């Protein structure tokens, strides 16, 4: 028995354009950083960088005057700051899911988008990580949150979910960065080998850590990658669960809910995929990598969005049910107030973007339409921002004692800070696209027909193994079977 | 730049060995040098190269860097510090002392103990030995420490020689005054007039007599915008002499308050609140409590405490009383004599029948044990009639007592003022000396004081704490020293005589009224001698005087000078009947004929405290509006006029008109508009407004950098003075209201007014209480859950706790300001309050709830709701939700169970405040205590700070600590004296100030402590106890005492 078709998962169509060769893949991806940046890149970069500048201004004003330049008040002590924090962290999750969980589940279609998604994770976590530092009243003492031995007898309170957050997010960032970097090593080596200038060669050589593509290198690499994937996988579940503890362990109705951990994880994956989709569709159009990132990938991502969107919708419904079923007046009031109170518009924005929008992906036509999925992904991004806003602001603004009820309005500095982190994110992302292989060259090659150990033998029908066609820098199939 | 001289190396000795680089150089040294110079031109920078060369640049850059470096190590100016080695006696750093003194408030002398630190008064407390204080204070007394340190107080004598006022020396004023007085001796002071607010100072009266002896034709006039003149005239009608009436609200069984806000703005509020609360105290369900009926137009603090409240326009109150009197005399056989005749047949519309029948029966059934209290603004005839009724009911001499007034000569103020003004018009006045008060601002508009003064050409000498509206007209302005800065003496409403002891030398070198009078009378200029001179009349022996003086200073009360109440006084029925005959029905009220009624503001009174930032930011007890006043309308009237809260309306009456923001006050009488005095000041100061311009504030500015500073000097609120004429000092009718189309941002600290059916401020009727004594606990049960961790054992040592009796609390706000003063709580400004960032550690929540008839919460009866008030501060949960969530351990539990804040540990994540179910935590969103957004606070304002409490910076969370500094002080004292702590050693600031004794604090491990007993009462409940927070503060549910026949 032999292989009849080149590598392809059971019953599925090829993951990349079957006509593309290994060299073309290398060329396609490497050229992005080797050629001059297109004019569009510069426009986008300057635009994004100017928003990063706005972030600097907003943070300057924030640090100079205090948190009062935001709209936060009593009782809404947290508002856009933590909304943005959770939103960014959530976005990061798709990256980890794609790279680690799908890797372990041998979902090879991930190879086209994993680099991209991981980069998104890194930058999103950076944006998220800014907020805990920015939102505290005395940012210059933010280091009190770290367990640093000191002469002041200060030690963090490990009972505090914010403390857990610090560890969850910093662990997440460290592991994600390592995972991303380890995956990049063979590709850095490819860029190094193709480099035409000395500086380019030196810089890429530095980051390639002396990668030679030897069998031993590949073996170590695959093991490291697998271990890191195993590290990252629980993080997909744990980080957003821990973030949800910030709310779930509190006493505030609307926060004090056991459904939060799975609900937050589903929401995180949902929003993360939407963000990957948004970025991917733009990049795909701009850089013409359609042969690598095919409609197949996009459709699969849409299916995930449909699933997670429906999960989130279930959570929304379950919250209402439990509020009613518990017989707790405060709980019931909070949820009624979400839908009909002063912030009804935020709630219904959330419902329409997060629950109704992904339902269009039941239809194949919609799943495969680029404009539809682009608009849907943007709407989901908006909806998921509103989900966090609804959870944080509408729960806080009317809690137990009616005399303390209030209404939150953002200020222009709130808007600047948020737009600023978006600017920072896109700036970092554009720099990534410009200088780092945005598609995992080595991993994509492993999914090419020619990467199949039996490539070329199907027609011969003798079942013998010939490896002469295999390019030296391509990942062997060992990527899938590490022990081999 | 000066050329720097190169360092001159020592020249080589002649005999030193010579070196050469090459043979050419050795052979032809000059030629070689030239060649070398051509190759390495050293002097290029000097001549050949234009501008700044490389070396020049380097030199400049180096010098710039060096100078920049030097800047950092510039010598600091020498500032020698001096150790406190030669301490003045009785002044230990860090140890506070309390001095007894007295403060004047609306004819009442409030005895005080003022806490001073190193000679700096910081906190006002009540004097328990003083009958008008009984150890408590009211809101304005608490805030008076801010008045003392008001940064806008007048700082020097001013004299107008040419066009403008210019700073002058006190000596110049003294010389001018001495010259004038000397000159006036010729015509016996015929052209000299004095205008002052009513006085209660015996020294003032003594000096007035002395001046009269010297200048018999000089005249003294009295005016203050909110006065007791009607009450005095009423007493003159009823008894033939002015009396000061003190009601005993403690022993009265039935109290009828007619337009009388005796729990907030009327004189003697502290004593009244104390007694009222005692009369309603319930330890067990079977104790009798008093019943309060209130008839009033606006919703006041007194109305909020009523068992039954009738909303009635102010002008109809007299007819209600007349109808009640007729009912009492005809149905209950009350003998009113001649008084009954003119009353017969007087009807009052809008009053339910039961309000006459049932109330009359109640009053008749509580002979000797009822009180009919009439508000100061009601005309004299109503007071006279009430005196007659109180006498007939047997209350006079029992629950209603009459005392001699401090100044029996004081006459009806408007007549008095008109006499002065006609003298001014006739140019019979050359010098008018105004001893306090602000007549240009607060004299009724139709009397046109300012204009008539200007045309008369009289020289105005003004003694005033601020350069106010009147100062512009003055030829001489002398700063008025604060009561805490000068010697004085005062008589209380009951005649109690106290010495006003200064606590600090005048900060701005001001004078007191008696010091001015002393100068004119030719006595020693110092207040000390003047006051002792008065006391000498009672104690002529120097030794006795010395002994009594010391006792007076120590105790704050002169014990030997107690006045007794008059025995039951005979009512002059004919005079009362003649006055009552003036009670006539008016034109029907409606939107074309609205009533306007003027009330003193519950915070800034008549405007004299307008620059007191604490009071400005204090929420109004009923509307919770801060930094503004408004015209209050009933929901029905507002609907008829088509206005909503925040609309700017024009109110016109008899050609006078004002623009003012409207506010819909549930429970307000229909067709009546309540206007609070004292706002819209143009010369009050940075907090009260010193511009004619107002900030219209359309919603919150979303550009936070331009946030309004709390002291931007814009006009605050609306001046209702132009509508207030001499015949409408209290109320008037015939007003019309039109919408202007403009809106105004009014800011409240509480925006939601329904309890939403939640067990928050729990109340019940007495009958319900008797039926189910522990009713509140059914609504807030402790949860049956296992603890997450080993519960802390608090049974050893102290276990601090508090109890707040909602049955006693009237919602007067005194505790809020006491807390602000004690704990250095900043003022944040209207804009920040609008953003929800007020900082008060204790707040008084005010909820409207449906009346007795409608039992279900839900749709609120806006026309006639009941009110529930509830003070909420940190309840010090034993299982505090805030503590678990702080990532940096900045809020922790003390072994005594206090929920402590470590400010310098707090990084400001605000998680604790989110997780606080009571929302009592306050966050310093900005640097509210100074730079950078608010500018540095004036040094003088900082003097009011309590040195025992940290001043919190921005980014830090804060909250009630149960006055932990006082707990520590008490513990240190007990340790020093080697004795165990006893109940009452620690008194929190709110407890200390509370006139109703609603707040009790102490050690719950002491079974005999008052707090332990209070917490065990059956109507005690722990707020939100169902969350398992185990609060240390217990609220005691409010018990209302409605008459079943009225419901």
**Residue pLDDT, tens place only, A428-450:** 999 998 899 888 888 888 777 77
A65 with B704: Cβ contact below 8 A: yes
Per-residue pLDDT tens over the stretch B385-399: 999 999 999 988 889
Distance from the B425 Cα atom to the nearest Cα atom in chain A, whole angstroms: 55
Give yes or no for A251 touching B (CB within 8 A): yes
Of B888, B908, B914, which is closest to A67 when you measure between CB atoms?
Answer: B908
Question: Tell me, what's the pLDDT at A479?
Answer: 38
Per-residue pLDDT tens over the stretch B345-358: 888 888 888 999 99
B908 with A396: Cβ contact below 8 A: no
Q: Which of residues 45-84 of A touch B (CB under 8 A)?
A: 61, 64-78
Give yes or no for B858 touching A (CB within 8 A): no
Question: Residue B899 forms beta bridges with which residues?
Answer: B893
DSSP B1010: H
Give yes or no for B935 touching A (CB within 8 A): no
Question: Tell me, what's the pLDDT at A463?
Answer: 44
CA distance B917 to A395: 12
Do the beta carbons of residue B496 and residue B563 sit within 8 Å? Answer: yes
Distance from the B756 Cα atom to the nearest Cα atom in chain A, whole angstroms: 7
Quote the tokens at residue A444: 């994509």
In the Cβ-directed half-sphere of B632, how many Cα atoms lie within 13 Å?
26
CA distance A381 to A87: 9
Q: How many CB atoms lie within 10 A of CB A436?
A: 19
Report in angstroms the alpha-carbon separations of B387 from B79, B267, B297, B376, B567: 68, 17, 22, 13, 14
pLDDT band at B75 (very low <50, low <70, confident <90, very high): low
Do the beta carbons of residue B857 and residue B1009 sit within 8 Å? Answer: no
DSSP A392: I
Listed residue (A164, A188, A149, A175) closest to A227, CA to CA: A175
- Average pLDDT, stretch B885-907? 91
The interaxial angle of helices B202-214 and B513-521, nearest 10 deg, is 30
CA distance B619 to A423: 43
Per-residue pLDDT tens over the stretch B122-173: 999 999 888 888 889 999 999 999 999 988 899 899 998 877 888 889 899 9
What pairing do the DSSP bridges indicate for beta strands B631-633 and B656-664? parallel
Question: Tell me, what's the pLDDT at B790?
Answer: 84
Average pLDDT of every residue of chain B:
86
Test mutation, B835, B849, B957, chain A, max A CBs within 10 A: B835
B836 with A399: Cβ contact below 8 A: no
pLDDT band at B907 (very low <50, low <70, confident <90, very high): very high
Instruction: Among A130-134, B692-696, B809-813, name the one with the lowest average pLDDT.
Output: B692-696
Average pLDDT of every residue of chain A:
84
Per-residue pLDDT tens over the stretch A370-418: 999 999 999 999 999 999 999 999 999 999 999 999 999 898 899 999 9
Q: Is the pLDDT of residue B532 over 50?
A: yes
CA distance A290 to A24: 13
A74 with B933: Cβ contact below 8 A: no
Report in angstroms the alpha-carbon separations of B52 from B41, B45, B48: 16, 8, 11
Test mutation, B748, B841, B909, chain A, max A CBs within 10 A: B909
Do the beta carbons of residue A454 and residue A3 sit within 8 Å? Answer: yes
Q: Which of residues 400-429 of A touch B (CB under 8 A)?
A: 400-407, 409-413
DSSP character string of B514-559: HHHHHHHHTS-S-HHHHHHHHHHHH--SHHHHHHHHHHHHHHSS-G
Q: Is the pLDDT of residue A153 over 90?
A: no
Do the beta carbons of residue B485 and residue B510 sit within 8 Å? Answer: yes
In the Cβ-directed half-sphere of B813, how many Cα atoms lie within 13 Å?
27
CA distance B519 to B179: 11
Question: Tell me, what's the pLDDT at B97?
Answer: 86
Give the H/E segment covering residue B372: strand B370-374
Nearest chain B residue (CA) to A137: B955
Per-residue pLDDT tens over the stretch A209-255: 989 989 999 999 999 989 988 888 888 888 889 999 999 999 999 99
How far is Cα of residue A43 from the mean position of the Cα atoms in its chain?
24
pLDDT band at A475 (very low <50, low <70, confident <90, very high): very low
Contacts 24+ apart (CB under 8 A), A458-462: A458/A2, A458/A3, A458/A4, A458/A5, A458/A6, A461/A2, A462/A2
Q: Is the pLDDT of residue B996 over 80?
A: yes
- Average pLDDT, stretch A175-182? 90
Listed residue (A437, A112, A447) closest to A280, CA to CA: A112
Do the beta carbons of residue B425 and residue B453 sit within 8 Å? Answer: no
Distance from the A409 Cα atom to the nearest Cα atom in chain B, whole angstroms: 8
What are the backbone dihedrals phi and psi of residue B571, each rounded to the nearest 5 degrees, phi first?
-90, 130
Q: Is the pLDDT of residue A477 over 50?
A: no
Q: Hunting for tokens 């107030």 — which residue is that?
A: A337
User: How far from each other are the two terminal CA atoms of chain A, in whole angstroms?
Assistant: 21
Q: Which of residues 392-431 of B touch A (CB under 8 A)?
A: none
Of B704, B750, B760, which is closest to A68 when you measure between CB atoms?
Answer: B704
CA distance B831 to A381: 34
pLDDT band at B932 (very low <50, low <70, confident <90, very high): very low
CA distance A404 to A397: 8
Q: Which of residues 734-773 of B touch A (CB under 8 A)?
A: 750-758, 760
CA distance A117 to B992: 63
- Cβ-Cβ contacts under 8 Å, A135 against chain B: 909-910
pLDDT band at B709 (very low <50, low <70, confident <90, very high): low
Of B949 and B564, more confident: B949
Q: What is the complex's ipTM, to 2 decimals?
A: 0.88
Do the beta carbons of residue B133 and residue B112 sit within 8 Å? Answer: yes
Question: Tell me, what's the pLDDT at B929?
Answer: 80
- Cβ-Cβ contacts under 8 Å, A145 against chain B: 887-888, 907
What are the backbone dihedrals phi and psi of residue B370, each rounded to the nearest 5 degrees, phi first?
-135, 170
Per-residue pLDDT tens over the stretch B452-476: 988 888 889 999 999 888 888 889 9
- Angle, alpha carbons B59-B63-B66 (nearest 5°): 140
Distance from the A340 Cα atom to the nearest Cα atom in chain B, whole angstroms: 15
Nearest chain A residue (CA) to B921: A74
Question: Residue B374 forms beta bridges with which residues?
Answer: B258
Q: How many Cβ pairs closer than 8 A exist between chain A and B?
A: 204
Q: Hunting for tokens 């470590």 — which residue is that?
A: B902
- Cβ-Cβ contacts under 8 Å, A402 against chain B: 752-756, 758, 760, 847
DSSP B988: -
Of B51 and A216, more confident: A216
Quote the tokens at residue B252: 């009265």
Question: Residue B431 forms beta bridges with which residues?
Answer: B192, B459
A329 with B757: Cβ contact below 8 A: yes
Do the beta carbons of residue B241 and residue B235 sit within 8 Å? Answer: yes
Question: Tell me, what's the pLDDT at B84?
Answer: 63
Of B862 and B728, more confident: B728
Quote the tokens at residue B80: 């020698």
């Amino acid at each position: 028995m032999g292989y009849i078709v080149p590598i392809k998962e059971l019953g599925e169509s090829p993951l990349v354009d079957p006509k593309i060769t290994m060299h073309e893949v290398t060329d396609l991806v490497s050229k992005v950083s080797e050629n001059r940046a297109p004019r569009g890149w510069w426009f986008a970069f300057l635009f994004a960088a100017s928003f990063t500048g706005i972030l600097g201004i907003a943070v300057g004003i924030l640090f100079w005057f205090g948190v009062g330049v935001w709209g936060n008040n009593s009782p809404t002590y947290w508002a856009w700051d933590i909304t943005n924090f959770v939103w960014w962290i959530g976005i990061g999750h798709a990256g980890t899911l794609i790279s680690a969980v799908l890797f372990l589940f041998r979902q090879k279609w991930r190879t086209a988008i994993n680099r991209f998604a991981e980069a998104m994770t890194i930058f999103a976590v950076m944006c998220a990580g800014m907020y805990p530092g920015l939102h505290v009243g005395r940012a210059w003492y933010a280091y009190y949150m770290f367990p640093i031995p000191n002469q002041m007898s200060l030690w963090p309170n490990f009972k505090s979910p914010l403390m857990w957050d610090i560890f969850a997010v910093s662990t997440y960032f460290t592991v994600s960065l390592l995972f991303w970097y380890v995956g990049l090593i063979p590709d850095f080596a490819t860029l190094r080998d193709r480099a035409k200038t000395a500086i380019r060669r030196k810089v890429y050589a530095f980051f390639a850590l002396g990668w030679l593509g030897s069998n031993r290198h590949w073996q170590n690499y695959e093991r490291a990658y697998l271990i890191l994937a195993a590290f990252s996988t629980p993080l997909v579940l744990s980080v957003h669960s821990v973030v949800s503890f910030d709310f779930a362990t509190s006493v505030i109705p609307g926060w004090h809910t056991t459904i939060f951990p799975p609900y937050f994880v589903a929401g995180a994956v949902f929003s993360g995929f939407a963000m990957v989709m948004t970025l991917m569709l733009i990049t795909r159009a701009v850089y013409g990598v359609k042969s690598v990132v095919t409609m197949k990938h996009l459709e699969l991502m849409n299916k995930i969005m449909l699933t997670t969107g429906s999960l989130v919708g279930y959570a929304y419904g379950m919250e209402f049910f439990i509020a009613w079923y518990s017989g707790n007046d405060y709980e019931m009031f909070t949820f009624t107030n979400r839908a009909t109170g002063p912030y009804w518009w935020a709630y219904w924005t959330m419902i329409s973007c997060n629950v109704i929008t992904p339902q269009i992906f039941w239809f194949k036509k919609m799943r495969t339409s680029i404009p539809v999925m682009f608009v849907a992904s943007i709407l989901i991004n908006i909806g998921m921002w509103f989900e966090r806003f609804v959870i944080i602001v509408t729960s806080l603004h009317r809690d137990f004692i009616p005399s303390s009820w209030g209404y939150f309005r953002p200020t222009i500095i709130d808007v600047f800070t948020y737009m600023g982190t978006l600017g920072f994110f896109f700036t970092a992302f554009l720099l990534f696209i410009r200088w780092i292989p945005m598609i995992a060259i080595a991993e994509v090659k492993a999914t090419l027909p020619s990467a199949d150990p039996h490539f070329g033998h199907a027609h011969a029908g003798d079942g013998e193994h010939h490896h002469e066609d295999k390019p030296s820098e391509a990942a062997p199939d060992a990527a899938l079977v590490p022990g081999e | 730049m000066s050329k720097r001289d190169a360092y001159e190396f020592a020249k080589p000795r002649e005999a030193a060995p010579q070196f050469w680089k090459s043979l050419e150089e050795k052979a032809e040294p000059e030629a070689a040098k030239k060649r070398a110079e051509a190759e390495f031109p050293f002097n290029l920078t000097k001549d050949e190269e234009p501008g700044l060369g490389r070396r020049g640049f380097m030199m400049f850059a180096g010098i710039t860097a060096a100078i920049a470096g030097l800047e950092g190590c510039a010598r600091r100016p020498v500032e020698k510090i001096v150790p406190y080695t030669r301490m003045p006696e009785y002044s230990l750093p860090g140890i506070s002392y309390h001095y007894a003194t007295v403060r004047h408030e609306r004819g009442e002398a409030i005895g005080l103990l003022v806490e001073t630190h190193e000679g700096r008064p910081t906190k006002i407390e009540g004097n328990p030995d003083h009958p008008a204080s009984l150890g408590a204070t009211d809101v304005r007394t608490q805030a008076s420490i801010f008045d003392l340190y008001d940064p806008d107080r007048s700082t020097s004598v001013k004299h107008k020689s040419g066009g403008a006022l210019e700073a002058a020396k006190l000596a110049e004023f003294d010389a001018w005054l001495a010259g004038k007085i000397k000159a006036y001796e010729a015509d016996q002071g015929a052209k000299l007039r004095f205008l002052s607010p009513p006085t209660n100072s015996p020294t003032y009266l003594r000096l007035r007599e002395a001046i009269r002896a010297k200048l018999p034709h000089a005249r003294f006039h009295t005016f203050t915008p909110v006065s007791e003149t009607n009450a005095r005239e009423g007493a003159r009608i009823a008894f033939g002499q002015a009396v000061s009436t003190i009601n005993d609200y403690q022993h009265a069984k039935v109290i009828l308050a007619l337009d009388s806000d005796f729990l907030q703005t009327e004189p003697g509020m502290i004593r009244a609140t104390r007694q009222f609360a005692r009369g309603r105290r319930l330890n067990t369900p079977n104790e009798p409590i008093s019943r309060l009926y209130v008839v009033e137009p606006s919703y006041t603090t007194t109305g909020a405490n009523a068992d039954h409240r009738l909303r009635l326009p102010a002008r109809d109150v007299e007819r209600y009383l007349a109808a009640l009197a007729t009912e009492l005399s005809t149905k209950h056989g009350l003998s009113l004599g001649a008084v009954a005749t003119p009353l017969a047949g007087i009807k009052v519309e809008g009053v339910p029948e039961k309000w006459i029948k049932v109330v009359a029966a109640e009053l008749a059934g509580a002979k000797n044990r009822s009180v009919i209290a009439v508000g100061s603004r009601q005309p004299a005839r109503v007071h006279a009639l009430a005196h007659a009724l109180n006498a007939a009911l047997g209350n006079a001499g029992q629950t209603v007592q009459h005392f001699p007034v401090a100044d029996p000569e004081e006459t009806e103020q408007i007549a008095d003022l008109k006499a002065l003004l006609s003298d001014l018009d006739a140019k019979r006045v050359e010098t008018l000396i105004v001893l306090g008060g602000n007549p240009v601002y607060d004299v009724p508009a139709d009397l046109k004081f300012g204009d008539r003064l200007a045309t008369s050409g009289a020289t105005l000498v003004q003694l005033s704490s601020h350069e106010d509206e009147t100062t512009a007209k003055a030829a001489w302005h002398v700063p008025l020293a604060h009561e805490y800065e000068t010697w004085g003496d005062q008589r209380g409403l009951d005649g109690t005589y106290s010495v006003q002891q200064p606590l600090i030398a005048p900060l701005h070198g001001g004078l007191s009224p008696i010091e001015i009078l002393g100068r004119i009378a030719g006595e020693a200029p110092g207040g000390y001698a003047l006051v002792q001179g008065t006391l000498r009349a009672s104690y002529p022996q120097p030794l006795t005087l010395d002994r009594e003086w010391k006792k007076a200073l120590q105790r704050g009360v002169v014990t030997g000078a107690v006045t007794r109440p008059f025995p039951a006084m005979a009512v002059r029925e004919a005079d009362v009947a003649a006055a009552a005959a003036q009670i006539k029905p008016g034109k029907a009220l409606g939107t074309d004929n609205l009533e306007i009624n003027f009330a003193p503001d519950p915070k800034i009174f008549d405007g004299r405290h307008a620059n007191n930032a604490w009071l400005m930011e204090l929420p109004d007890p009923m509307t919770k509006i801060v930094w503004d006043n408004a015209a209050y309308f009933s929901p029905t009237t507002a609907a008829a006029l088509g206005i909503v809260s925040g609309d700017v309306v024009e109110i016109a009456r008899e050609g006078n008109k004002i623009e003012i923001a409207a506010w819909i006050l549930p429970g307000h009488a229909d067709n009546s508009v309540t206007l609070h005095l004292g706002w819209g000041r143009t010369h009050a100061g940075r907090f009260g407004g010193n511009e004619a311009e107002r900030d219209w504030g359309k919603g919150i500015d979303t550009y936070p950098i331009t946030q309004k500073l709390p002291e931007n000097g814009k006009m605050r609120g609306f001046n209702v003075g132009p509508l207030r004429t001499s015949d409408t000092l209290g109320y008037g009718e015939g007003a019309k209201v039109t919408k202007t189309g403009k809106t105004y941002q009014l800011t409240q600290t509480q925006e939601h007014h329904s309890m939403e059916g939640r067990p928050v401020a729990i109340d019940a009727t007495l009958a319900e209480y008797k039926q189910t004594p522990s009713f509140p606990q059914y609504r807030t049960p402790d949860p049956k859950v296992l603890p997450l961790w080993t519960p802390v054992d608090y049974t050893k040592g102290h276990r601090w706790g508090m109890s707040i009796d909602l049955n006693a609390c009237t919602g007067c706000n005194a505790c809020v300001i006491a807390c602000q003063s004690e704990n250095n709580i900043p003022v944040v400004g209207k804009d920040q309050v609008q953003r929800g960032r007020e900082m008060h550690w204790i707040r008084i929540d005010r909820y409207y709830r449906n009346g007795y008839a409608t039992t279900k919460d839900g749709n609120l009866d806006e026309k006639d709701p009941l009110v529930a008030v509830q003070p909420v501060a940190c309840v010090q949960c034993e299982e505090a939700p805030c503590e678990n969530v702080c990532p940096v351990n900045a809020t922790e539990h003390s072994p005594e169970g206090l929920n402590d804040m470590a400010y310098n540990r707090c990084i400001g994540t605000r998680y604790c405040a989110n997780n606080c179910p009571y929302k009592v935590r306050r966050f310093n969103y900005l640097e509210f205590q100074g730079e950078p957004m608010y500018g540095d606070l004036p040094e003088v304002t900082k003097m009011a700070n309590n040195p025992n409490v940290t001043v919190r910076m921005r980014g830090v969370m804060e909250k009630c600590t149960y006055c932990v500094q006082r707990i520590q002080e008490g513990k240190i004292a007990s340790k020093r004296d080697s004795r165990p702590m006893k109940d009452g050693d620690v008194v929190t600031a709110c407890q200390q100030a509370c006139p109703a004794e609603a707040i009790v604090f102490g050690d719950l491990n002491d079974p005999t402590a008052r707090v332990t007993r209070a917490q065990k009462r059956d109507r005690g409940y722990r707020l939100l106890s169902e969350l398992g927070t185990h609060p240390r503060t217990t609220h005691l549910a409010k018990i209302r005492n409605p008459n079943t026949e009225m419901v």
